[in-house]
Amino acid sequence: MALPITPPDPLGDPPSTFGSPSPHSTTPSSPTTSQRTYLVAATLAPTALLPHQPRIIYGDSIDGLPRIWRAGTAPHTVCYNAPLPTSPLHNAFWHALKSSAFADSIVKVTLPSRSAPTALEVQFLDAASCAIACVHPIFVSDQHFPACIAVAPGRKVYRVTLSRLPGVRYTDLVTGLQRCLAPFGIVREIVVHESYTFFDGTGSVLLERPDPPAQQVAKLAYEISYNDNTAILGEWAHMGSHCKYCKQMGHDIDAYPARSSETRTCHSCNKPGHLQANCPHVSKPASSSLLPIEPQRKAKVVNHAEEETPSDNTAYIVDPEDDTMLDALPEQVNSDKAQLQQEPEKAADEQALLEAIQATETERVRRLTRHTPNRNMRRSLSTSPTRRNTASRNSSLSPPPRFTRQALGTEAKSNQ
């Protein structure tokens, strides 16, 4: 497609403000009240800044426009995006091509086809003539038609998208990319992406490689070493499966064998596979030297009345080889008998004490009940002994009813 040649706009006078004279005028100007039109306001508005805008920093381009790469049918060929036969510039284009400085080096011309009606292929004698044709485009009227080197037979151009590019000057970046990509092929074009006019660390390259790849050309890889401390990542069409975890090709991240399926991360060491409570990298505090407090055990209540007194012929299991146990056996038996004889006496004393407390409480409740005006009033709290059935005591303390059906019937009979 033809590109129009637009001459640069002449530098005009800056717009004068209200009440200020023009810098090029010799006489003072009078104040103007003309309003600024929409066209002037739109022209003076700043250009919109967009993210990921491509910029060519290396390659065969004119006015910063990317070349159109097409496969050629022969070596040392270039391609033109020629005007259509119905265009008024068609004949002028062929006259300009015939009168060009490199016309004598043209050996063959392949006309555009029906599938590509503007693709014109021109073959030269050598590569130097191709380079001259790419530098000098064909000018027709106010438009120019640049030439781009065609891809030779047996060669293929790959568009490799790059990421993690280092933040260096563009000249240093071009030198570094040509050096690190030289084992993979010939770098034809380098494009960087700028977001809001600033380099954002991404871009792409056009890499020419033999098809099929020869032995002297290295196999393209997902991770490419830029220098000793930096590695860049490259992706291209139909590259196959590649792992974004280990940066190797041949498998994807889901099929990575060494990747841990544990997704939990420790907040202490920032490593996956465990939580902070089980972190092996954190020193645990020493155990306390204080002994643990044992819970108090409840005393076992023994009914001495139902307990049987052991007889003198109680069987003891002893070790026949232990002589000391046989010697201490009579003394142990005598101490056990004495203890068993003292337990019934203690139980009798406890029972007598409980009965005395019970009698004292019963007398106190009777005195309080006698002086209470309301018979249905709740009696004062009394301390009842434990392990005693107080149902019979409460029933005996309740006063006998004064007016019952039987008492009223007996009184009525006596009155008759």
* Same domain, residue pair 176 and 229: yes
CATH of residue 206's domain is 3.30.70.330
Q: How confident is the model at residue 251 (pLDDT cuts 50, 70, 90)?
A: confident
Q: Tell me: the pLDDT tens digits for 122-172?
A: 999 998 998 899 888 899 988 888 888 888 888 888 999 999 999 999 999
Q: What DSSP string describes 292-305?
A: PPPPPPPPPP--TT
* Same domain, residue pair 182 and 211: yes
* Same domain, residue pair 141 and 74: yes
In a domain, 212, yes or no: yes
* Same domain, residue pair 176 and 226: yes
In a domain, 362, yes or no: no
pLDDT at 241: 87
* Same domain, residue pair 207 and 171: yes
In a domain, 109, yes or no: yes
Share of the chain above pLDDT 90, in %: 25
- Give the Cα separation of 363 and 230 in Å (integer): 101
- Give the Cα separation of 185 and 206 in Å (integer): 10
In a domain, 399, yes or no: no
If you ran DSSP here, which 8-state letter would residue 238 be given?
A: T
The residue among 134, 149, 164 that closes a domain is 149
In a domain, 206, yes or no: yes
pLDDT of 271 strictly over 50: yes
Q: Of 58-67, 75-84, 243-252, 327-336, give the lowest mean pLDDT range.
A: 327-336
In a domain, 402, yes or no: no
Domain hosting 261: range is 252-280
The residue among 110, 126, 149 that closes a domain is 149
- Give the Cα separation of 166 and 408 in Å (integer): 116
Share of the chain above pLDDT 70, in %: 61
In a domain, 105, yes or no: yes
Helices (H) and strands (E) in the chain, counts: 7, 13
* Side-chain half-sphere exposure of 371, counting CA atoms within 13 A: 6
Query: Own/partner pairs for 268-271, CB < 8 Å, 24+ apart?
Result: none
In a domain, 83, yes or no: yes
Average pLDDT (384-401) is: 51
8 Å CB contact between 190 and 203: yes
Residues 6+ apart with CB under 8 A from 243: 222, 249, 250, 251, 252, 253, 255, 256
- Give the Cα separation of 64 and 57 in Å (integer): 8
For residues 29 and 110, the model is more confident at 110
Alpha-helix residue ranges (DSSP H) falling in 323-390: 323-370
- What is the CA angle 179-180-186, rounded to 5? 70
8 Å CB contact between 198 and 192: no
- Give the Cα separation of 78 and 130 in Å (integer): 7
pTM for the full predicted model:
0.49
Q: How confident is the model at residue 351 (pLDDT cuts 50, 70, 90)?
A: confident
pLDDT at 28: 43
pLDDT of 43 strictly over 80: no
* Same domain, residue pair 225 and 176: yes
Cis bond upstream, residue 212 (ω within 30): yes
Q: Of 66-80, 195-209, 248-262, give the lowest mean pLDDT range.
A: 248-262
* Same domain, residue pair 110 and 85: yes
The residue among 149, 167, 200 that closes a domain is 149
Whole-angstrom CA distances from 118 to 47, 69, 85, 133 are 33, 14, 9, 18
| Secondary element (H or E) of residue 160 | strand 155-163
Alpha-helix residue ranges (DSSP H) falling in 185-265: none
Q: Of 222-231, 352-361, 368-377, give the lowest mean pLDDT range.
A: 368-377
Number of domain units in the chain: 3
Average pLDDT (23-48) is: 53
Q: Tell me: the pLDDT tens digits for 193-244?
A: 999 999 999 999 999 898 887 778 898 899 999 999 999 999 999 888 888 8
- Give the Cα separation of 286 and 390 in Å (integer): 56
The whole-chain average pLDDT of the chain stands at 74
